Each structure stands twice: as C-alpha cells, then as structure tokens.
Structure 1
Amino acid sequence: MLNMNTNEIIIDKHSSSIQISNKISTVQRKSYNYMLKVAKNEFKNDRKLREFTITAEELLLFFDMGGENHTHLKKELGLLNKTVVTYNILGKDKQNKRWGSFTLIAGFEYKNGIISYSFPHQIINMLLDPKIFAKINLVAIKGLRSRYSIALYELAEDYINVKIPKMSMSDFRLLMGIEEEKYSKFSMFQRRVIDVAVNEINQSEYINFTLSYELEKTSRKITHIKFIVHKKENTEQTGKKQKNFYRWKNLIVKKYKEQPLCNNLTELKYLKWTLFFIDKNGFLGKDVEGNRSILEKEEAFKLWEFLFENPKKLEIVPLTQLDILRKDFRGKKIEQISTTALGSRMVTILELKEFKEENERF
C-alpha cells in the first residue's frame, strides 16, 4: 500500500503511455496510475514479475472514492481491461518510433477485495526501461476531478523542461478522448474541456506550475492550440518580484513613451538593428527598416522580462560599419578577411558569401 501521508508520490511514467487517446474515465485513469506505481515498486525486487496485487480498499481510500464502492470499482476495471488506446500520439518517442494501440491492462481478477492484474508487454517494456518519461505526482492526480485535467496535467509534466508542442485540434481531441462530433461548437468545447482542465490544474496546491494557452486560426476556424507552462515560485518572493517588475515597467513606459527604447537584442534572436520603441498608448513595438509594428502580448512580455533582468540592454547601440554592411547585404555572409594599410589609413577587406541564417527574427 502506498503512503497516504505525503504531498508527493512520484511515478516515472513513459511518455508514450502519457500521450494516449483518453477514452478512459477519471476513476480508470487514477486507478491505472496507482496500479503502475505499485508494479514499478515491485519491479525493484523482482524484474521478472508479471502479476501484481493490490487491495480494492487501498485504491478506493487513496482516491477518496468511498471504501464501500467495490461494485463501481469492479465495473470500471472491467471497462479499463476492454478499452483499446492509441499511444505516442504526439510522437515524442522518436528514438523507438513507437506508435500503436493496446489495452492498458492485459487482465485482472477481483476476489475477496484483492485485485490481481497484469499488463500487456508494451507497458511492461515501458515500466522496465522508461528512457523518456515524466514524473507524475499521484497526490496531484488524486485532487483532480476531471479526466481532461488529469490528461492535460500529465502532458504538461511530460514537457515540463521544454515547450509543449503546438497541437492540431484533432490531436488534442484525441488526447482528451473526445469524438469530433462531441462539442462540435468550439465555444462549448473550450468551456467544457479546455477551461475546466486549465482552471483545475491552476488551482491545485500540489502542482508546481500553472497553464495558459493560445489558439490559432486557419481562415476563420480554430485549428491549433498551444499550452504554455508557468512554473510557480515561492508566493512571497513572487509577489515582491511582480511588484518590482510592474513598478519598473511603469517607470520605463513613462520615460520612453513615443521614443526609441533599445536595439541589439541578439540574445533573443532579433537582428541587431531591430529597434524597439514605446508607442503613445504605452505598448511595446519594433521597427525594422521603417516597418513598425506592435508586439503580440506574449512576445512583449518575454521582452519586458528580459529587459527587467538585463537593464544594461536598455540603450541604443550604434551600428558599426560591419553591422551596416550586414544589414545592407542581408542574405550573404560577410567575413572580415584582413586589415591592411593604404597610405595613412587602415582598410578592412571583406568577403561576401551566400548563406541563410536560421532563427533570425525581425
């Protein structure tokens, strides 16, 4: 039985088994994660073990499902045993190119309150050798009521140190286990699925991050969604830092309103001559060779954060002759070959080469 008197019970769950078609209920996914954790613990003593046991009581009590609710649990495990899921939907497991489908448990027996169960060989392999995995906290899952919240929480943990990839709405529906015809009106899908999951995750005291999301349209239809993970900090420190940040930002906006702010933000992949400014309404914009535009909210916030952490970058850096040449001959690589004396002057000889610079921003 797992220790209930703790705020953290971690299972290293293989990425492929996180990115599954979520056709299972809240009770089934919670039970399944618990069963995985017990099996993982027992593998430490015997890696050849293939059948595992838990009591129905510990499962019901751990997830606050009611200690007497045995009939419901048996029904849920029976459905779990019959449900075929697709795995590795987003293709994170590129090394083994895993993609396929299986039932989450190969079989189970429920007798006198004792549950004996086994996994299909794909799950056994993932448990024994989880080369790419997420650290899933069962205590956090215990507090989530929606199956969409659990699926999204696991997905976010799977990409906790990298960006969650932008997903097509079709893939996201598959990960949530929602058929195309259900919630066909997007506003309903957003309210009943996306916002329910995001809000529940953001309110959990056992999850150390919050989520926000962006939607992308093709023509007039919303076709993609991107989730952004924001790691939580100590509440007191965060509050103080936020106050300092917004106080500083307000001072900068007041000082530089309708004026150039800075350039030379190559650390953020901007070209050196991209000029940033504050418009009359206090919004952050950029000027590239006379083409002015206001930054999108997320881009502006990232830039403000960078400037707050690096105040010395708040300056206009004069362009060198080499910078001007690079600007004028963008698309060609400029190399300084040599410097030589010509009369009383030093002359720099440059060579132009065809090239294409990746990741440059304007």
Structure 2
Amino acid sequence: MAQKIAGRSRADVAEDIPREGLTGALRRGSVKKNVAAIHVSGKLTLLQRKLSNVLLLNAYDHLISRPKHSIDARTLCLMIGYNSNDMETLKASLRSLAETVAEWDMLDQKGRQEWGVSSLLSYAKLSGGVCEYAYSPALAEKLHDPKVFALINLNIQRRFTSGHALALYENCFRFVRTGSTGWWPIDLFRRLMGVEDSAYYESFKQLNAKIIKPAVAEVNKTSNILLTPDFRKMGRVVTEIRFLIKENPQLAMFEIDDGEGSRSSPVYLRLIALGVGDRLARQWIAEHGEPYVTEKLDYVVGQGAVASPVRYLSAALRDDYGAPAAPEPSPEVVEAAARRQAAAEAQAKAEAEREAAVAAERRERAERMARVRAVAEARNPTQRDADRRLFLRQLDGDLEREDFARHGWASALNARAIFAFWEDLEPGIFDRVA
C-alpha cells in the first residue's frame, strides 16, 4: 500500500502548502517562508491517521536522542479510541504506516532547496504487549523541528468518525491564526483527501457532494475550528479551493495550552517524575484538569510498586480509579453496553474489510493495466496506431478523449472502457488476472 504525494513547497508559496499527516497546526500568527512542507499519503484510514498522530506524540520528546520508541500496546489503543482486543487490526495499521511514504521539499538553514523521502515508520513491532517503532533519522529530524510539529488535541481527534474529515482538519488547523489556508489547486486537494486515483471524484460535483461538504460539516461539528469553503473558477470549471477558518467558540474548551504555564505546576512535575513525557503530561492536564490528575496520581502512588506506572495512571484517568463505587447496573444497562460494544467492534471489522476490498480492487486494476500495456506494446506500430484511433472513436466526451491523448492506455479516467475494448479485441486477455 505504499503511496506518496509529492511535496512541491517553495519559499514563496510555503504559506499555501499543507503538511499532510502531521499532528496539528503551527500555533503562531504568521507563517515564515522557510517552514518545511512534509506530506504523507492522504489515503490513510481514520484509524491509521489517529495512530500516526499518537505515535508521534509519544516519541516527540526523544525523536533525536533515541533511535527507537515504545508504548504499551493497550495504552496505544486507548489513546486512539480503539477499545477492541483485536491486535490484528493494529498490526495492519502499523504495516500500512511502514509502507507509506513521507516526502518533504523545503529550504534548509542556508537557504538551499532540500528534497527528501522516507517511509513514515522505518519499522514497527509488537512483542510482549509493547509496541516498538522507529523513524528514519532524516524524517525524525524534520518532525522534531518545532516549526513543523504542533500537538493535535487527542480529545478532539477521538471524536472524528471520518478519515476525510480528520485529514481536512489537520491541513486547516495550522492556518487558524491567519484565517485561511490560501488557494489549493483542486488536484492537490484530491491528493490530500486520498482520492486522486478515483475517476468518480474527477467530477467536482461528486467531490463536493461526497468529500467536501460532509468533511466540512464534521469538522465544524466536532472540532475547535469552523471552516467555510471558497472556490475559484476558470470559466465554469472549479480550479482551486481554499478554506476560511475561525475558532469555534462552542468547542474552545478543547484548546491546549502549548506554552509554559502547565510546566510550572506541581502536578506536571509529578507526572514527569513518574516517567510521563512532556507533551503527554500537558495533554492530560489540559483534558482532565489539575485536581483530577492530582487525585489519580495520589491513587496510583497509594497502590505501591506497579509494573507500569504510566500505563496504570492512564487507565486510572480513563476509568476513574478510586472513585466511589457506582450502583450495580441494571440488566438493561449491561445489555445496552454490550450492544454498543458489539456495534463498535462490528464497525471496526467492517472498516477493515472495506479497506481490504479496496486494496484488492486496486491490485486487480493495476494488473489489468499492466496486461493491457504488455499486449499493446507487443503489436506492430501500424496495429498500435489503429488500436488508438479505434478506441478514441468510442469515447463520447472531450474530457475522456483528452485524458486518453495524454495518458494513453494508462488513462485512469477511461479504465473501464479500456478493459472492455481489449476484452473484445483480445478475448481472454484478463483470464489470468485475479
């Protein structure tokens, strides 16, 4: 599933280039022109995108000083809002991150253009209930740059139900102080949403109805920003899109203080002494409040020596350890909770099955395309020219003919027509394709 989106940042347009896949937005009033643009595939699923953000959050304080990082696997599932014990889904998501390409195109400290590419994770493994992983040294250096990384609020992240909506949020949030993303070409927006290979979304009508409007609606309902899409046309064709951004006053409670305030509090110092990372400590204080975190710290310390204090504290914060015992739930409540759990697990399984089906469909399509190219190239020049002219006569629309003229038999827009054409021309051409 290795996919990439080409970064094309330049110093004079860095403000308009989103950093796809990073965990949040730059918290400052203006964007300097030497800010790096790091892109990863927009095709990450919602679970994979959340997982990528949490892994970066966990590793951030030691990205440069440590070659590898680790986190308790169940704590990891907790932080991404995934409560299932199905480790196979977690394995599949980690595998996808290791196969996903991150690419940057930026100015270095001396003002020289620097391009680089790396897998998003250099490796990941699960052993003894612990997830161990690493970034390549070059990517770790870029991610550790404070101009590139800003903490995404995990409390907000867990509320998203759509991968497209979370991708849109991540790309827009960094511009909250400037009020606008700047203009993005529609082709770039399709790549950021992970639909650049879909002929269906070549139509702006479908892109707007199925991607833009639902994603904007979920961001506005779920997050701490409000988005308004704006379109630029050439004639009657939409060529560029931007998003006007303002803070959502109804969800301002989710804002995280990324300054020095929380670091001076006694509870922060206790968390650090326990082994909690800087950003996770501030995350917990922001989400739960100092009194609640202090209460759970006291509870954990009162339990004596435990195998994993940080994991135990995470569970205490989540499940309110030490609180007065709640009344025994009624059978109806227990049954309702079981139904909700079953529905959540069924949804996670269905998402995994849909991803597998999409991946299989893409593999089959790629194999068919490769078979067409091989057969077409084996024909003599006269036959090849006749094949192209015959196929062109079968295309009805100017857009389809233009795409075929540009891409030939690799035209994604005409894939179905190409397969039907060659099936008629060479019966059985696809018999060996799974």
State the TM-score, normalized to the length of structure 1.
0.54
Looking at structure 1, the residues matched to 107 and 25 of structure 2 have their Cα atoms a distance apart, in angstroms, of 13
1:31 aligns with 2:51: yes
Query: Identity of aligned pairs, percent?
Result: 27
Measured after TM superposition, the shift of residue 233 of structure 1 is: 3.1
Helix, strand or coil: the match of 2:147? coil
CA-based RMSD of the aligned residues comes to 2.9
1:203 aligns with 2:218: no
Q: Residues 16, 151 of structure 1: CA spacing in aligned structure 2 closer, same or farther, 3 A cutoff? A: farther
Looking at structure 2, the residues matched to 39 and 229 of structure 1 have their Cα atoms a distance apart, in angstroms, of 30
Correspondence for 2:204? 186
Correspondence for 2:74? 57
Correspondence for 2:136? 120
Looking at structure 2, the residues matched to 83 and 200 of structure 1 have their Cα atoms a distance apart, in angstroms, of 26
Q: Is the 8 A contact 1:133 1:158 kept in 2?
A: no
Correspondence for 1:233? 249
Looking at structure 2, the residues matched to 87 and 174 of structure 1 have their Cα atoms a distance apart, in angstroms, of 15
> Which letter maps to 1:35?
L
Report Cα offsets for 1:245-285 as digits up to 9, x if no partner: xxxxxxxxxxxxxxxxxxxxxxxxxxxxxxxxxxxxxxxxx
Q: Map 1:22-171 onto structure 2 (within 5 A).
A: 22-42=42-62, 47-87=64-104, 97-162=113-178, 163-171=180-188
Q: Is the 8 A contact 1:19 1:155 kept in 2?
A: no
1:176 aligns with 2:175: no
Report Cα offsets for 1:153-192 as digits up to 9, x if no partner: 1111211212311110011112112125242222221122
Correspondence for 1:327? none
Q: Is the 8 A contact 1:22 1:85 kept in 2?
A: no
Measured after TM superposition, the shift of residue 16 of structure 1 is: 4.6
Measured after TM superposition, the shift of residue 12 of structure 1 is: 6.8
Measured after TM superposition, the shift of residue 85 of structure 1 is: 3.7
Report Cα offsets for 1:221-261 as digits up to 9, x if no partner: 111101000223369xxxxxxxxxxxxxxxxxxxxxxxxxx
Measured after TM superposition, the shift of residue 71 of structure 1 is: 0.7
Measured after TM superposition, the shift of residue 202 of structure 1 is: 0.4
Q: Is the 8 A contact 2:124 2:133 kept in 1?
A: yes
Measured after TM superposition, the shift of residue 118 of structure 1 is: 0.2
Measured after TM superposition, the shift of residue 100 of structure 1 is: 4.0
Q: Is the 8 A contact 2:25 2:172 kept in 1?
A: no
Measured after TM superposition, the shift of residue 70 of structure 1 is: 0.7
Measured after TM superposition, the shift of residue 119 of structure 1 is: 0.4
Helix, strand or coil: the match of 1:49? coil
> Which letter maps to 2:88?
T
Q: Is the 8 A contact 2:142 2:148 kept in 1?
A: no
Report Cα offsets for 1:14-40 as digits up to 9, x if no partner: 875664331311111111110001101
Correspondence for 1:294? none
1:216 aligns with 2:232: yes
Correspondence for 2:259? none
Helix, strand or coil: the match of 2:152? strand
Measured after TM superposition, the shift of residue 67 of structure 1 is: 3.1
Q: Residues 17, 128 of structure 1: CA spacing in aligned structure 2 closer, same or farther, 3 A cutoff? A: same
Q: Map 1:315-330 onto structure 2 (within 5 A).
A: none
Looking at structure 1, the residues matched to 75 and 202 of structure 2 have their Cα atoms a distance apart, in angstroms, of 39
For structure 2, list consecutive stretches of 5 or more residues without a partner in the other structure: 1-21, 27-34, 252-434
Correspondence for 2:296? none
The structure with more helix, counted as a fraction of residues: 2
Measured after TM superposition, the shift of residue 80 of structure 1 is: 1.4
Looking at structure 2, the residues matched to 97 and 153 of structure 1 have their Cα atoms a distance apart, in angstroms, of 28
Looking at structure 1, the residues matched to 149 and 99 of structure 2 have their Cα atoms a distance apart, in angstroms, of 25
The 10-residue stretch of structure 1 (67-76 or 176-185) with the greater mean CA deviation from structure 2: 176-185
Measured after TM superposition, the shift of residue 220 of structure 1 is: 1.8
For structure 1, list consecutive stretches of 5 or more residues without a partner in the other structure: 1-9, 236-362
Correspondence for 1:7? none
Looking at structure 1, the residues matched to 56 and 37 of structure 2 have their Cα atoms a distance apart, in angstroms, of 11
State the TM-score, normalized to the length of structure 2.
0.46
Q: Residues 59, 101 of structure 1: CA spacing in aligned structure 2 closer, same or farther, 3 A cutoff? A: same
Q: Is the 8 A contact 1:16 1:98 kept in 2?
A: no
Looking at structure 2, the residues matched to 38 and 172 of structure 1 have their Cα atoms a distance apart, in angstroms, of 29
Measured after TM superposition, the shift of residue 64 of structure 1 is: 2.4
Q: Is the 8 A contact 2:226 2:245 kept in 1?
A: yes
Larger radius of gyration: 1
The structure with more strand, counted as a fraction of residues: 1
Helix, strand or coil: the match of 2:246? strand
